[in-house]
Every structure is written in C-alpha cells, then in structure tokens.
Amino acid sequence: MSETRFTDDHEWARLEGDLIVVGITDYAQEQLGDIVFIELPSVGSAVEQGQEAAVIESVKAAGDVKSPVTGSIAQVNEALVDHPEMVNQDPAGEGWFYKVTPADPAEMDDLLDAAAYDNMLAGLE
C-alpha cells in the first residue's frame, strides 16, 4: 500500500496503481459524529484540488469533501449511498469516497505526510 497523504481539511489521499483513493480522516468522522448522508461526485466528472467534490451530512453538521488532487472521477464508493455509517466505522478503509485519475500525480507532494498531519492535529487539541 502506498503512503497516505492528508489535507488541512482532514481528507486523505492514497495512490493505488494509477488512481488516487480519497476519503476523510478518522479525526474528521469523529468531529462529524454519526454520518447520515453522502452525495458522491459523478464518474467522469472533473475535480479540482481544494474544491468541493462530495457532500457529507451528519447528525451534527453538513460539509464538503474537498478533492486533494485535480483530475477525473474514475470510481465512486456506491456502498456509501445506502450505508454512510461505513465512513464512521472504517474511514481509512471501506469508507473511502471516490477514486481519481490524477491530472498531475505530483500534486500529492503538496499534501501533508502522516507526521505533519499528526502535528497539525496536536495543535488543535
């Protein structure tokens, strides 16, 4: 498995083959509480780094999932439509949101590594 990178907005991105898998972090799902609805992007749609790609609603709040990279949506996790709680149960695994064919895989270098993300979280406490 490839190294996972993170955004300041608590999304994660992991290169798997030619695709980048995207989800939200454990910290994000904890802050949201019980997730009750997810709106996924359409396969084939374009996403821009830092722009809204999906919508997530919980019992506490609604928010956007921003794309960590620019590219085209290659696949979405359809299971989340009927089972949004999968994000709470396994945010870094089965709770992934979508896979992107990146326009520029080097954008991953702009994201935080695990140590930098952990340091950012420590500053939030």
CB 101 within 8 A of CB 74: yes
pLDDT in tens, 29-49: 999 999 999 999 999 999 999
pLDDT in tens, 59-115: 999 999 999 999 999 999 999 999 999 999 999 999 999 999 999 999 999 999 999
Task: Assess whether pLDDT exceeds 60 at residue 1.
Answer: no
**Per-domain residue ranges of the chain:** 4-103
Reported as a pLDDT band with limits 50, 70 and 90, residue 57 is very high
Strand order of the sheet with strand 71-76? 4-6, 11-16, 19-24, 98-102, 71-76, 46-47
* pTM of the predicted model as reported, rounded to 2 decimal places: 0.95
pLDDT at 43: 98
Q: What is the CATH number of domain 4-103?
A: 2.40.50.100
Reported as a pLDDT band with limits 50, 70 and 90, residue 2 is low
